[in-house]
Amino acid sequence: MEVTASSRHYVDRLFDPDPQKVLQGVIDMKNAVIGNNKQKANLIVLGAVPRLLYLLQQESSSTELKTECAVVLGSLAMGTENNVKSLLDCHIIPALLQGLLSPDLKFIEACLRCLRTVFTSPVTPEELLYTDATVIPHLMALLSRSRYTQEYICQIFSHCCKGPDHQTILFNHGAVQNIAHLLTSLSYKVRMQALKCFSVLAFENPQVSMTLVNVLVDGELLPQIFVKMLQRDKPIEMQLTSAKCLTYMCRAGAIRTDDNCIVLKTLPCLVRMCSKERLLEERVEGAETLAYLIEPDVELQRIASITDHLIAMLADYFKYPSSVSAITDIKRLDHDLKHAHELRQAAFKLYASLGANDEDIRKKIIETENMMDRIVTGLSESSVKVRLAAVRCLHSLSRSVQQLRTSFQDHAVWKPLMKVLQNAPDEILVVASSMLCNLLLEFSPSKEPILESGAVELLCGLTQSENPALRVNGIWALMNMAFQAEQKIKADILRSLSTEQLFRLLSDSDLNVLMKTLGLLRNLLSTRPHIDKIMSTHGKQIMQAVTLILEGEHNIEVKEQTLCILANIADGTTAKELIMTNDDILQKIKYYMGHSHVKLQLAAMFCISNLIWNEEEGSQERQDKLRDMGIVDILHKLSQSPDSNLCDKAKTALQQYLA
């Protein structure tokens, strides 16, 4: 109760008619709230904030009073997230931004310090910095006023720059030119905040990155300054942030992946950050940045994999929290627990990048102590982020035929994977279903058990997703499943998918979905007994679909796949008749034999060869009908083709007529 009584006394003094007493009241309040969250909360509840903001904006308030008000508000913002919410509800940001127009530097610095505290809170929407278009240019102008304005403004920028729109606004208002010279400031804090600004400006932004490469500061190019800042004698935070700047510039295409500043400086620096000597949060950031740097480049993956025993070093990321007996310090346990998730996520991400292309690296990763068990455990973790990283890691390793046949089999990876696919968020589903495609390749021993565990229904379900990536993966996995499969599996797929859904997929707006669906059809319609069986039950609909695609506005690849499906149908014993009795389709085959594109001519030739093959029943009637259509004349013409492949196929076909 005393707290509230004394708190009320502080607030009452803000309403005193004597300005001197008001000022003293604000100063006393400032001293009372420092480091006292309870007191801060009480003052907010009692309505101190609107009064402080009123005094801050009042024309008649002295500059000293305004400055002290800004300091107290900044102190209140240092408290809990709820405090910041209360300040935002009272419209503190427009009031402070207005304060920046004052001529008084001390007041401006106090407003900036408070703005910095409010903007760095997770509850503050970054957009509030960009609502008024005059704010950013004004902040740029204030950068030259003092080392404090430099530090706070850079910190505000680096926190509020989220995504390409914000990057463009800051870039267009001269952020690069205005901040570059701060990298040589005498104040470490200013240098550090300027560096952070560049890392957020360059991230996935080619325009900014290409500009940064050519910026000179005191006769030195920016990348060279960044390289100096990641030397071992610099503070870790500075090394990490400059490594990020160089990494982002490299990923945005402004620095080559084989440039010395990447291979000899940035990459080794990031590997150093993964070592046991570093703090847990530094190891997380180091591993995640390194994973991003090497992700698209096989040469960097190879270099990283043999730098400082990195693969073994990452195994240590799974050993947190350390065994409880060793931790007597409760705070330490809490810290370890908090970071354990992040460490595992970072290790999985880096393993995924390391193993993206190279077989030997994948083998090394899998042979690291208990790695497969760790990844499999990761698939069922409570944290979505860890699950996603574990699935990505497995997906990367599943690109290896060797591993699919061995480690993946030994650890029955498909079991937890099928569980992950049951009810996961889309981002996990996309990677997990993509990995399932690999596990369903014909040489993978996991194929059988996956089929038995209800995969067909699950994948058919994915083909109905709103998300095109999931539709592609669902149909791709079914295509892999149908490859050289037995009749029963093919029948299961057709039954579960339904012809309606098959046709929906054949008219999908996403080209990948269409191509994979055609691939599925082609795999279903292979080997004679299967072709005849499927065409006897679904022939009419399949012929309709083929006609539609050949008539539609599709690219060469789509039409080629479709003609290959026709060639498969023409290879059936009874299925042939569905083509021979369909004059429309025969005319289309004839048309494609004379097409300007060799791929399509070849595919149409396959259809004809399968229809006229001598040893088969009814070949004479088929040959006659096709001769009457003028096919033989076309074959003669094609046997003169400059394309040797086409010429050979035409000659072989003509021999069927002579035999």
d(C-alpha 381, C-alpha 232), whole Å? 36
Assess if residue 555 is contained within a domain. yes
Same domain, 412 and 503: yes
Does the structure show a pLDDT above 80 at 295? yes
- Residues 266-294 have pLDDT tens digits of 999 999 999 999 999 999 999 999 999 99
Q: Which domain holds residue 584?
A: 539-658
Assess if residue 510 is contained within a domain. yes
Residue that finishes a domain, picked among 526, 550, 578: 526
Does the structure show a pLDDT above 60 at 324? no
Same domain, 569 and 456: no
Query: Highest mean pLDDT range out of 126-140, 473-487, 503-517?
Result: 126-140
Residue that finishes a domain, picked among 493, 526, 559: 526
Assess if residue 76 is contained within a domain. no
Same domain, 494 and 581: no
Does the structure show a pLDDT above 50 at 298? yes
Same domain, 500 and 543: no
Same domain, 547 and 430: no
- Residues 37-89 have pLDDT tens digits of 899 999 999 999 999 999 999 999 999 999 999 999 999 999 899 999 999 99
Q: What is the pLDDT of residue 7?
A: 84
Q: What is the pLDDT of residue 604?
A: 94
Same domain, 584 and 508: no
**pLDDT bucket at 1, cuts 50 / 70 / 90:** very low
Assess if residue 588 is contained within a domain. yes
Q: What is the pLDDT of residue 148?
A: 98
Q: For residue 6, what are the CA distances in angstroms to 29, 37, 51, 610?
A: 10, 15, 17, 97
- Residues 147-200 have pLDDT tens digits of 999 999 999 999 999 999 999 999 999 999 999 999 999 999 999 999 999 999
**H or E element at residue 216:** strand 216-217
Total tally of structural domains belonging to the chain: 2
**pLDDT bucket at 597, cuts 50 / 70 / 90:** very high
Residue that finishes a domain, picked among 466, 498, 526: 526
Same domain, 575 and 643: yes
Q: What is the pLDDT of residue 344?
A: 94
Residue type, 42: N
Which residues does 554 contact at the CB level (< 8 Å), separation at least 6?
514, 562
Which residues does 541 contact at the CB level (< 8 Å), separation at least 6?
499, 502, 503
Q: What is the pLDDT of residue 442?
A: 67
Assess if residue 314 is contained within a domain. no
d(C-alpha 432, C-alpha 389), whole Å? 11
Pairwise pLDDT comparison (329 vs 195), residue with the higher score: 195
Assess if residue 484 is contained within a domain. yes
Assess if residue 30 is contained within a domain. no
Same domain, 520 and 565: no
Assess if residue 200 is contained within a domain. no
Same domain, 410 and 522: yes
- Residues 408-455 have pLDDT tens digits of 777 778 888 888 888 788 999 999 998 888 888 767 677 788 888 888
Same domain, 495 and 608: no
Q: What CATH number has the domain bearing residue 647?
A: 1.25.10.10
Does the structure show a pLDDT above 70 at 395? yes
Same domain, 405 and 511: yes
d(C-alpha 49, C-alpha 44), whole Å? 6
Q: What is the pLDDT of residue 499?
A: 85
Residue type, 364: K
Same domain, 404 and 520: yes
- Residues 330-339 have pLDDT tens digits of 777 777 777 8
Mean residue pLDDT of the chain comes to 92
